[in-house]
Structure 1
Amino acid sequence: MIKTFTHETLLQYVYNELPAEQQVEVEQALVHDADLAARCADLLLAQRCLDALQSTPSDRATQNILNYSRTFLRAS
């Protein structure tokens, strides 16, 4: 029996959010379906790229925010 998986299911698989039984089903399908495996590989690559992004503001942005907030202290 051929089972199809939605994009959302693949995302849940990539982020380890599937129940164990469904995770096994996806892994078995990945072995037998090259297209599904390629789509999953793309999602894994995107996940790796997103995880590598800087998640904190730059020093300049932080300084700009602090300088702006100080204008309210002076006006009081």
Structure 2
Amino acid sequence: MYNELPAKEHQAIEEALLHDPELASICADLLLAQRTLNELQRGPRESTTRSILQYSRTFMQKS
């Protein structure tokens, strides 16, 4: 999934995927899930950022 294996083990897994359709299907599902998760937004929503900034301004106005 993350290309972390040594070349020899990587080759063994590729062989297994070629000869085991169920394993290949599971691997394909995992790769799709990985790709989907990698595309997710990683950060707060704009409304959350606005709320935090608005809240922080209440402290600045009191000083």
Please indicate the TM-score interval, normalised by the length of the shorter structure: 0.7 to 0.9
Compare CA radii of gyration and give the structure with the larger one. 2
Please tell me the residue identity of whatever aligns with 1:39.
I
Give unpaired runs (5+ residues) of structure 1: 1-13
CA distance in structure 2 between the partners assigned to 1:32 and 1:61 by the alignment: 49
Greater RCO, 1 or 2 (C-alpha within 8 Å, sep 6+): 1
Shift of 1:71: 3.0
Question: What is the aligned counterpart of 1:47 among 29, 34, 42?
Answer: 34
Query: Which runs of 5 or more structure 2 residues have no equivalent in the other structure?
Result: none
Q: 4+ residue stretches of structure 1 with deviation over 6 A? A: none
TM-score by length of 1: 0.69
Taking every aligned residue pair, what percent have the same amino acid on both sides?
Answer: 56
Q: Report the aligned-residue RMSD.
A: 1.6
